[in-house]
Amino acid sequence: MNTSKKSNLRPTIENRQARFNYELLDDFEAGISLEGWEVKSIRNGQIELKNAYVVLKKGEAWIIGLKILPMKEITYEVSSERSRKLLLTKAELSKLFKQTNEKGLSCVPIKIFWKNNLVKVKISVARGKSKYDKRHSMKNKEWRKEKSSLENFSN
């Protein structure tokens, strides 16, 4: 009897660089309009979130720079870096517009995941970190790592 879960077949792709470069303020969960080959490529984990960002224009949210690598089986010409529309409610869109109009705030994708057979994007309103903040977060990360290794050593 096979007891493996289907969720193991669907990876979660995270943008770790965004957590390092930005201070994340407010999170939103959005759907994303995709073509069939893009869904299959995401399921295989062939996606890059590193350089992606969200643009708000004409009452809609678009994700730009999201690179989905096409599978080898595709025989027709596809664009791997096309702009994709994010599916948000009007209330969420208006909240995003208000927050991103403030000085120094932008909207970045944090992770792509599966929810009930749908591909979702977690986006966040973010403020860029200064060089000092980045050093401080690296210092805290190293301290947590050292602390956990000391706890494991004492046990």
Q: What is the pTM of this model?
A: 0.72
Please give the C-alpha separations between residue 23 and each of 69, 116, 129, 134, 144, in angstroms, as whole numbers: 29, 29, 6, 10, 19
**1 falls in which pLDDT band (50, 70, 90)?**
very low
pLDDT on residue 121 = 92
Are 53 and 106 within 8 A, CB to CB? yes
DSSP 8-state class, residue 65: S
Q: Which residue has the higher pLDDT, 40 or 2?
A: 40
Q: Can you tell me the distance from the alpha carbon of 96 to that of 121, in angstroms, rounded to the nearest whole number?
A: 15
Please give the structure tokens belonging to residue 86: 């994010």
pLDDT for position 22: 80
Contact 69, 41 (CB under 8 A): yes
pLDDT tens figures, 100-155 = 887 778 889 999 998 888 889 999 988 877 766 667 777 887 788 887 877 777 66
Contact 46, 68 (CB under 8 A): yes
What's the pLDDT band for 3 if we cut at 50, 70, 90?
A: low
| Structural domains present in the chain | 10-129 (2.40.280.10)
> How far apart are alpha carbons 107 and 123 in whole angstroms?
7
CA atoms within 13 A on the CB side of 32: 29
Tell me the per-residue pLDDT of 16-70, one tens digit each, with 9 for 90 and over: 878 877 888 889 999 998 888 888 888 888 888 888 888 888 889 999 988 888 8
Q: Residue 68: its pLDDT value, please?
A: 85
The residue type found at 44 is N
What pLDDT sits at residue 7? 46
CA 12 to chain centre: 9
